[in-house]
């Protein structure tokens, strides 16, 4: 193979054709490798230096390992053996470099300004994540810069030497002497370099050739080989002088292909004898035609350890006449001489080791013995007669295999020791103390600079020592440097940029890893308060605009999108998360970004960046496409509002209306309108708008949270006003809810009335009267519907449920209304005639107030309460004229009646008829027209007549009680047995009160002894008048429990006391007042102060009489005082003080009309009058405050009948006939300081401050308060189905 090859690897200085035949002359004149040292011109580069002529047949090179096939030298010409001609031409004709071609294929990358770097593709770098593009481009993967390559080639601390052999000047025994070829081939290969530290050789070869050496068959590199076309055409990366044209690279970018080339295929072949593995590592520059082949260390004959040991031994035990260093040299020279004697003089005699000369030069010990043993010299006794130890030389006969092997080994050892000695002598120079060493057997030349220059790592090419202090001190950047393919010592800002860009170019898949490392390095400077060089700053900025992110950024991006346990989505972003989920997360987050309008734009930018990063990271076309289309899109809130042409404070209903209108007007703009709506939905965080957008249906006000344990709202059903509040209230009453629950989904057939007989019916009374079959059916239907609603409130997942129409109708319309309606429409009602008579048959169990519905209604009645108190349901009172001293008072103070009640009549309540005030003959209040049988105008709602809330509640309670009647059990039961569900209503809501009517004064009392009336009633509501400002609940109740009424023209005192209090105390604040002058009902907006607790002790029948008397006296004074204040501040011309002031102003200034009486004196009088009124008011107010305080003092220790506020019903609006209703319920029993606000479909949590707030100046104020007896847990506000319980059961 090697025989006929043209001579390769001539020294690169120019001698092209040395004689092919071996010649001792040539060998005797070694070529000085110095001639090409430090020559960086590519045309001069080369690694071949050792004077060498291929041998005819090398005994040393183990010819059996070399293919004997003849090799056509021309076939190798373009492969491995790029000759000097090849690269000699480089300088003249730069490899067909074509700038036009380069410009076409490789787009100018955006960061080209920072450093010189070629071969990039913007498209590829921007789409680095695209695996198919990466596959198409087949980039060679991560590379390294020349300084790293020099480390890879051989230990960078070691110096490699080129070795030129000089045979010894020995001519004796020439017959046995090694031939010139044998001597030359003692060097393993012309491209082998000797390392003294290793006592071994390294094969290094570099070439400019676009054709790589033949790779090992089936070589499968981890990364593709660089683009050979490009390598062929490109200019060398590293050139001297000016670049002629086109782009250049700062330096080479080396890519490693380990064990890619078989050394045996080279010419001459390279074979490592040690392990039989001759595979060489291939390094290829991706941007030019330079490549490099390198072996590992080929071990020398003597192991490095043994060489070191021998040397140390000589140094430690020098001969007496030599310095330690001279001893080392002398020792090795002796070994060398022994080898030469054997090889060149054919010395075969034993060598006694005990002779003085040997002892002084070498000595004898285990190390020396091993050295000679490895060299083939056997240490043995001299002879049988002589026990002297001697070395027996090995057989080196060239004709025997053993001889051949030994010759080659000794020659190799000889050249290695010779090289070692020469290098050693160079290093120690003059300190030999007069010792004169041998003539050199080899010329050694330091090849470091040559090699460094060849691969582009020379300090002239890449300066060293520019590392900033901050980076020098930094720890933890090793990985960064390593990953970028450079060393810290070779750092310069530009080279770092180059390294980064080159890695991104050649290994796009890891772009983010490289950016992370680049950023870490730059950031290290910043952290150390060092300004990073401009190039690096520019590069980072440019790369950021190309959507580069660090791995830390990626974590941030992931959390910006809401991933992670502690973030919005609460899930980690792992492989299970699909693109669609990420897309939705992004879109949602983008919309929600507007919730913080000031930071919305910034946040959306972050989100877009995050999305882009994730799309890249996941190499997702879907995400990337969505990002391309949707990023930066979207209206700002301003544009959204402008698009819909609505003001920012528009309410949701209006917004939806406007939206629908705009879309109808301009269907082509529908998408744009929708986008505007979706932006507004997010700006305002409106669930209602979102649901409207997704379903096309306005869900109503759904701003409440729909947490599973939140109470559900009730959708508004027509104009059902307070009904939703009432239904929610019922739901919070635990016993009621539980009693009703079993009737949900009741079979309508069970309402069949055939189950009970007339006798059964007669055994039951509800509200003191018998009930009809029809009422029973109706009630069961009502309760069944109610139970179904309750079921929905407990189980429904929607934020609100809708009550059925039937339920609303049955709740709002009484059975009596219904019958009247039927009679009106059908003329007669025959179906219930029989039942109706039953009412007359049996005395009522309870007095009238409990009866429902109230038989008489006034058109002025309101849902907020009747304007009169039906106290006298059993007392017929007359309507007297009002005393002049009494200010215009609410009509309930003067309930007229056609009959005077007598005590005897208390027993006959059926005779009693409640009268309406409108019928009262009164001078000041002319009678209103009697109520028509059916008012269909002002008091009609969608279900007919409008009842006040207590009537509606009574109606509901009546039906619940009726539905719960137990006819089966009743047959055997005792009537008084009240343990079943049927007395639930009575038990929960009804108390007992005692009314006493007495003469107003003692004198009257004396005259009308007989007129003291007393009776007991059940009650479910306390109706408290609300008219005066500055009253608290006790004041209002006080008026209820002790009042003055007029009866038959006589003023009577009516006292009420409580005999029994129910668990649920319902206090209705009667806000409907009647203005006699206008004959109009109006709503009192007066604020009645109430707290969380009310103590009813003072109103009890059992209250301390002495305290009662004292309180009564104080109350009388307080009432008088308040009346006085009222006179001064109310009435036609009230308040008087300002009015008087105005009069005085007018009189004092007017000069148009001549008023003789209006002289100065009058003005003074009026002014003084004004002052008087003012001071009197002040005095009276102070007095009232003091009296009130005295009054409260009387009762301050009586706190047994404590009731806690649980429910508050609110009406908002200035009219008693319409407005908005909502309801507060305390979150009992667990969160008494928290309240729910039930506002139709919306249920929200509010603080108690809102509930107890002073509503002065507001039209939203309570019309009913419910208090619950302390300790009686009647209210369980939240009753929601917990799916967890179901799971627990299943487990
Ligand atoms: Zn080494
Ligand atoms: Zn290169
Ligand atoms: Zn590369």
CA distances from 1219 to 638, 846, 862, 967, 1092 (A): 34, 35, 12, 42, 26
DSSP 43: G
Q: How many CB atoms lie within 10 A of CB 445?
A: 25
CA distances from 424 to 197, 305, 339, 1248 (A): 11, 16, 19, 96
- Rounded distance from Cα 505 to ligand 3 centre (Å): 7
> How does DSSP assign 52-107, residue by residue?
----SS-SSS-GGGS--S---HHHHHTTT---HHHHHTTTTS-TT--HHHHHHHSP
- Rounded distance from Cα 132 to ligand 3 centre (Å): 20
CA distances from 727 to 731, 803, 1224 (A): 6, 9, 12
Three-state DSSP state, 1014: strand
What is the dihedral angle through the alpha carbons of 862, 864, 869, 870, rounded to the nearest 10 degrees? 70
DSSP 1032: B
108 within 8 A of 117, measured Cβ to Cβ: no
Sequence-separated (6 or more) residues with CB below 8 Å from residue 1183: 1121
Bridge partner residues of 1266 (DSSP): 1066, 1207
Burial 397-417 (b: 16+ CB within 10 A, else e): ebeeeebbbbbbbbbbbbbbb
DSSP 1201: S
Q: How far apart are CA 989 and CA 1066, in angstroms?
A: 8
pLDDT of residue 1071: 85
Sequence-separated (6 or more) residues with CB below 8 Å from residue 316: 324
> How does DSSP assign 690-740, residue by residue?
HHHHHHSS------S---TTSPPEE---SS-TTHHHHHHHHHHBHHHHHHH
Scanning 456-550, the segments in alpha helix (DSSP H) are 469-473, 478-484, 493-506, 511-527, 534-545
pLDDT tens for each residue of 864-919: 554 443 333 333 333 333 333 333 333 333 333 333 333 333 333 333 333 333 33
Ligand nearest to the CA of 502: 3
Bridge partner residues of 161 (DSSP): 194, 446
Beta strands in 782-908 (DSSP E): 800-801
Backbone φ, ψ for residue 95 (5° rounding)? 55, 35
Q: What percent of the chain is predicted at pLDDT more than 90?
A: 24
Q: How far apart are CA 1025 and CA 1069, in angstroms?
A: 6
**Is 156 a residue whose pLDDT tops 90?**
no
Highest mean pLDDT (candidates 174-188, 753-767, 779-793): 779-793
Specify the range with the lowest mean pLDDT, choosing from 431-440, 488-497, 1106-1115: 431-440
pTM value is 0.50
pLDDT tens for each residue of 968-994: 554 444 444 445 666 888 889 999 999
> How does DSSP assign 397-409, residue by residue?
-TTSHHHHHHHHH
Q: How far apart are CA 394 and CA 382, in angstroms?
A: 15
CA distances from 112 to 122, 240, 543 (A): 10, 21, 11
Ligand nearest to the CA of 142: 3
CA distances from 307 to 165, 421, 730, 744, 800 (A): 20, 11, 104, 103, 93
- Rounded distance from Cα 196 to ligand 1 centre (Å): 7
pLDDT of residue 198: 95
Q: How far apart are CA 667 and CA 15, in angstroms?
A: 88
Sign of the torsion angle spanned by Cα atoms 101, 104, 105, 107: positive
pLDDT of residue 964: 82
- Rounded distance from Cα 1119 to ligand 1 centre (Å): 115
Specify the range with the lowest mean pLDDT, choosing from 372-386, 563-577, 1204-1218: 563-577
Which of these, 753, 787, 796, lies nearest to 772 by C-alpha position?
A: 753
1084 within 8 A of 1263, measured Cβ to Cβ: no
Provide mean pLDDT across the span 1232-1241: 87
Ligand nearest to the CA of 198: 1
Backbone φ, ψ for residue 281 (5° rounding)? -85, 135
Provide mean pLDDT across the span 1257-1261: 80
Question: Binning pLDDT at 50, 70 and 90, where does residue 1025 land?
Answer: confident
Question: Binning pLDDT at 50, 70 and 90, where does residue 19 land?
Answer: very low
Sequence-separated (6 or more) residues with CB below 8 Å from residue 49: 11, 12, 31, 33, 36, 162, 164, 190, 445, 447, 450
pLDDT tens for each residue of 665-676: 888 888 888 888
Ligand nearest to the CA of 223: 3
- Rounded distance from Cα 109 to ligand 2 centre (Å): 19
Helix 1105-1129 to helix 1136-1149 angle (10° resolution) is 20
- Strand 1093-1095 and strand 1202-1212: the pairing is antiparallel
Q: How far apart are CA 1151 and CA 1165, in angstroms?
A: 19
700 within 8 A of 1240, measured Cβ to Cβ: yes
Provide mean pLDDT across the span 618-625: 88
pLDDT of residue 1005: 54
pLDDT of residue 68: 31
Which of these, 146, 201, 158, 44, lies nearest to 448 by C-alpha position?
A: 158
Ligand nearest to the CA of 159: 1
972 within 8 A of 947, measured Cβ to Cβ: no
Q: How many CB atoms lie within 10 A of CB 461?
A: 19
pLDDT tens for each residue of 211-232: 888 899 888 989 999 998 888 8
1025 within 8 A of 1039, measured Cβ to Cβ: yes
- Rounded distance from Cα 282 to ligand 2 centre (Å): 14
Specify the range with the lowest mean pLDDT, choosing from 93-97, 437-441, 714-718, 1174-1178: 93-97
Provide mean pLDDT across the span 507-528: 94
Sequence-separated (6 or more) residues with CB below 8 Å from residue 90: 42, 43, 208, 236
Is the N-terminal amide bond of 207 cis, ω within 30° of 0? no
Which of these, 550, 576, 545, lies nearest to 563 by C-alpha position?
A: 576
Q: How far apart are CA 849 and CA 962, in angstroms?
A: 18
Ligand nearest to the CA of 140: 3
Ligand nearest to the CA of 297: 1
Ligand nearest to the CA of 290: 2
CA distances from 881 to 57, 79, 852, 919, 1052 (A): 151, 132, 31, 14, 14
pLDDT tens for each residue of 472-517: 888 889 999 999 999 999 999 999 999 999 999 999 999 999 999 9
Q: How far apart are CA 902 and CA 5, in angstroms?
A: 148
- Rounded distance from Cα 927 to ligand 2 centre (Å): 114
Query: If you average pLDDT over every residue of the chain, what do you get?
Result: 75
Bridge partner residues of 1269 (DSSP): 1203
pLDDT tens for each residue of 410-423: 999 999 999 999 99
Ligand nearest to the CA of 225: 3
- Rounded distance from Cα 277 to ligand 2 centre (Å): 29
- Rounded distance from Cα 274 to ligand 1 centre (Å): 16
Beta strands in 949-1048 (DSSP E): 991-999, 1013-1019, 1021-1025, 1042-1047
Instruction: Sort 436 into a burial class: Cβ within 10 Å, 0-12 / 13-18 / 19+.
Output: exposed
**Region of residue 234 (phi > 0: left; psi between -120 and 50: alpha; otherwise: beta):** beta
131 within 8 A of 619, measured Cβ to Cβ: yes
pLDDT of residue 118: 84
- Rounded distance from Cα 456 to ligand 2 centre (Å): 8
pLDDT tens for each residue of 303-313: 999 999 999 99
- Rounded distance from Cα 258 to ligand 2 centre (Å): 18
Sign of the torsion angle spanned by Cα atoms 200, 205, 206, 210: negative
Total residue length of the chain = 1291
Q: How many CB atoms lie within 10 A of CB 217?
A: 6
Backbone φ, ψ for residue 215 (5° rounding)? -85, 155
pLDDT of residue 1136: 64
Sign of the torsion angle spanned by Cα atoms 411, 415, 420, 425: positive
Question: Binning pLDDT at 50, 70 and 90, where does residue 718 land?
Answer: low
- Rounded distance from Cα 550 to ligand 3 centre (Å): 22
Q: What percent of the chain is predicted at pLDDT more than 70?
A: 72
């Amino acid at each position: 193979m090697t025989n006929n090859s043209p001579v390769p690897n001539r020294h690169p200085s120019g001698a092209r054709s040395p004689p092919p035949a071996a010649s001792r002359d040539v060998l005797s004149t070694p070529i000085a490798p110095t001639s090409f040292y430090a020559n960086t011109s590519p045309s001069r580069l080369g690694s071949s230096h050792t004077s060498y002529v291929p041998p005819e047949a090398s005994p040393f090179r183990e010819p059996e390992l070399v293919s004997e096939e003849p090799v056509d030298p021309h076939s190798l010409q373009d492969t491995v053996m790029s000759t000097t001609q090849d690269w000699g031409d480089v300088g003249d004709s730069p490899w067909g470099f074509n700038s036009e071609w380069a410009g076409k294929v490789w787009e100018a990358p955006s960061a080209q300004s920072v450093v010189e770097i070629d071969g990039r593709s913007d498209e590829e770098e921007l789409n680095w994540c695209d695996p198919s593009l990466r596959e198409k481009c087949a980039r060679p993967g991560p590379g390294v810069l020349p300084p790293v390559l020099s480390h890879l080639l051989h230990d960078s601390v070691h110096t490699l030497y080129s070795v030129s052999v000089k045979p010894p000047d020995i001519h004796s025994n020439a017959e046995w002497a090694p031939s010139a070829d044998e001597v030359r081939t003692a060097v393993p290969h012309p491209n082998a370099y000797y390392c003294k530290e290793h006592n071994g050789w390294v094969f290094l070869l570099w070439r400019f050739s676009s054709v790589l050496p033949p790779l090992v068959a089936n070589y499968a590199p981890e990364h593709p080989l660089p683009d050979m076309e490009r390598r062929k055409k490109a200019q060398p990366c590293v050139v001297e002088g000016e670049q002629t044209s086109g782009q250049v690279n700062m330096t080479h970018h080396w890519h490693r292909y380990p064990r890619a080339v078989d050394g045996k295929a080279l010419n001459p072949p390279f074979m490592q004898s040690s392990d039989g593995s001759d595979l060489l590592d291939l390094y290829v520059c991706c941007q030019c035609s330079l490549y490099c082949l390198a072996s590992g260390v080929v071990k020398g004959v003597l192991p490095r350890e043994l060489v070191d040991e021998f040397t140390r031994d000589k140094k430690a035990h020098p001969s007496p006449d030599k310095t330690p260093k001279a001893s080392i040299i002398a020792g090795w020279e002796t070994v060398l001489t022994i080898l030469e004697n054997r090889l060149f003089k054919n010395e075969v005699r034993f060598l006694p080791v005990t002779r003085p000369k040997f002892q002084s030069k070498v000595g004898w010990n285990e190390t020396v013995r091993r050295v000679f043993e490895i060299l083939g010299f056997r240490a043995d006794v001299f002879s049988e007669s002589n026990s002297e130890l001697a070395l027996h030389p090995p057989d080196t006969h060239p004709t025997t295999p053993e001889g051949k092997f030994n010759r080659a080994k000794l020659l190799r050892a000889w050249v290695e020791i010779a090289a070692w000695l020469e290098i050693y002598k160079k290093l120690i120079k003059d300190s030999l103390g007069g010792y004169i060493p041998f003539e050199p057997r080899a010329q050694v030349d330091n090849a470091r600079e040559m090699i460094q220059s060849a691969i582009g790592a020379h300090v002239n090419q890449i300066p060293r020592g520019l590392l900033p202090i901050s980076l020098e001190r930094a720890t933890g950047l090793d990985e960064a440097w390593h990953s970028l393919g450079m060393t810290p010592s070779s750092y310069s800002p530009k080279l770092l940029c180059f390294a980064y860009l080159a890695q991104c170019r050649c290994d796009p898949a890891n772009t983010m890893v490289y950016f992370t490392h680049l950023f870490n390095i730059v950031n290290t400077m910043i952290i150390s308060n060092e300004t990073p060089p401009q190039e690096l700053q520019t590069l980072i900025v440019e790369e950021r605009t190309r959507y580069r992110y660090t791995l830390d950024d990626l974590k941030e991006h992931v959390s910006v999108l809401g991933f992670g346990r502690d973030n919005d989505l609460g899930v980690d972003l792992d492989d299970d998360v699909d693109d669609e989920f990420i897309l939705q997360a992004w879109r949602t987050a983008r919309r929600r970004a507007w919730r913080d309008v000031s930071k919305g734009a910034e946040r959306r930018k972050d989100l877009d960046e995050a999305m882009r990063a994730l799309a890249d990271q996941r190499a997702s076309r879907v995400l990337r496409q969505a990002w391309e289309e949707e990023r930066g899109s979207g209206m700002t809130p301003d544009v959204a509002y402008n698009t819909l042409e609505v003001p920012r404070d528009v309410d949701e209903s209006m917004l939806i209306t406007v939206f629908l209108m705009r879309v109808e007007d301009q269907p082509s703009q529908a998408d744009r309108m929708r986008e505007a709506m979706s932006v507004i939905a997010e700006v305002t965080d409106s669930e209602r708008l979102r649901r409207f957008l997704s379903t096309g249906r306005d869900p109503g006000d759904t701003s409440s949270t729909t947490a599973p344990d939140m109470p559900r709202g009730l959708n508004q059903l027509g104009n059902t006003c307070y009904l939703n509040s009432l239904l929610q209230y019922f739901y919070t009453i635990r016993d009621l809810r539980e009693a009703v629950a079993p009737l949900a989904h009741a079979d309508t057939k069970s309402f069949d009335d055939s189950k009970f007989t007339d006798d059964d019916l007669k055994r039951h009374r509800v509200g003191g009267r018998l009930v009809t079959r029809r009422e029973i059916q109706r009630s069961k239907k009502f309760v069944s519907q109610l139970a179904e609603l309750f079921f929905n409130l407990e189980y429904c997942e929607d934020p609100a449920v809708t009550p059925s129409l039937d339920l609303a109708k049955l709740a709002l319309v009484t059975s009596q209304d219904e019958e009247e309606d039927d009679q009106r429409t059908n003329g007669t009602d025959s179906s219930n005639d029989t039942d109706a008579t039953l009412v007359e048959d049996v005395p009522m169990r309870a007095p009238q107030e409990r009866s429902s519905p109230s038989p008489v209604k006034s058109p002025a009645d309101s849902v907020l309460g009747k304007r009169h108190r039906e106290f006298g349901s059993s007392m017929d009172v007359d309507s007297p004229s009002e005393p002049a001293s009494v200010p215009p008072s609410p009509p309930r103070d003067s309930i007229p009646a056609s009959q005077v009640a007598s005590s005897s009549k208390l027993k006959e309540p059926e005779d009693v008829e409640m009268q309406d005030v409108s019928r009262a003959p009164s001078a000041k209040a002319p009678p209103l027209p009697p109520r028509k049988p059916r008012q269909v105008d002002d008091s009609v709602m969608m279900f007919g007549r409008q009842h006040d809330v207590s009537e509606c509640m009574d109606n509901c309670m009546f039906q619940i009680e009726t539905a719960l009647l137990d006819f089966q059990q009743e047959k055997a039961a005792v009537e008084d047995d009240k343990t079943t569900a049927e007395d639930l209503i009575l038990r929960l809501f009804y108390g007992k009160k005692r009314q006493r009517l007495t003469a107003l004064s003692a004198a009257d009392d004396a005259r009308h002894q007989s007129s003291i009336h007393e009776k007991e009633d059940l009650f479910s509501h306390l109706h408290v008048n609300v008219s005066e400002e500055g009253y608290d609940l006790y004041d209002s109740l006080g008026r209820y429990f002790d009042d003055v009424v007029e009866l038959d023209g006589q003023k009577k005192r009516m006292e009420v006391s409580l005999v029994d209090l129910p668990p649920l105390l319902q206090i209705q604040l009667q806000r409907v007042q009647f203005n006699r002058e206008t004959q109009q009902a109006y709503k009192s907006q007066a604020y009645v102060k109430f707290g969380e607790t009310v103590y009813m002790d003072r109103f009890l029948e059992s209250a301390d009489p002495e305290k009662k008397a004292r309180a009564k006296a104080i109350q009388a004074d307080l009432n008088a005082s308040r009346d006085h204040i009222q006179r001064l501040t109310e009435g036609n011309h009230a308040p008087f003080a300002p009015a008087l002031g105005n009069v005085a102003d007018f009189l004092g200034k007017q000069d148009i009309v001549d008023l003789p009486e209006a002289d100065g004196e009058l003005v003074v009088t009026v002014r003084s009058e004004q002052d008087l009124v003012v001071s009197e008011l002040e005095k009276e107010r102070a007095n009232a405050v003091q009296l009130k305080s005295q009054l409260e003092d009387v009762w301050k220790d009586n706190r047994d009948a404590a009731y806690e506020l649980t429910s508050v019903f609110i009406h908002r609006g200035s009219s008693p006939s319409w407005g908005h209703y909502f309801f507060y319920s305390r979150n009992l029993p667990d969160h008494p300081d928290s309240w729910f606000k039930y506002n139709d479909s919306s249920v929200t949590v509010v603080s108690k401050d809102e509930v107890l707030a002073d509503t002065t100046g507001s039209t939203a104020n309570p019309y009913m308060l419910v208090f619950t007896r302390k300790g009686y847990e009647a209210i369980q506000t939240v009753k929601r189905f917990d799916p967890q319980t179901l799971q627990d059961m299943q487990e």
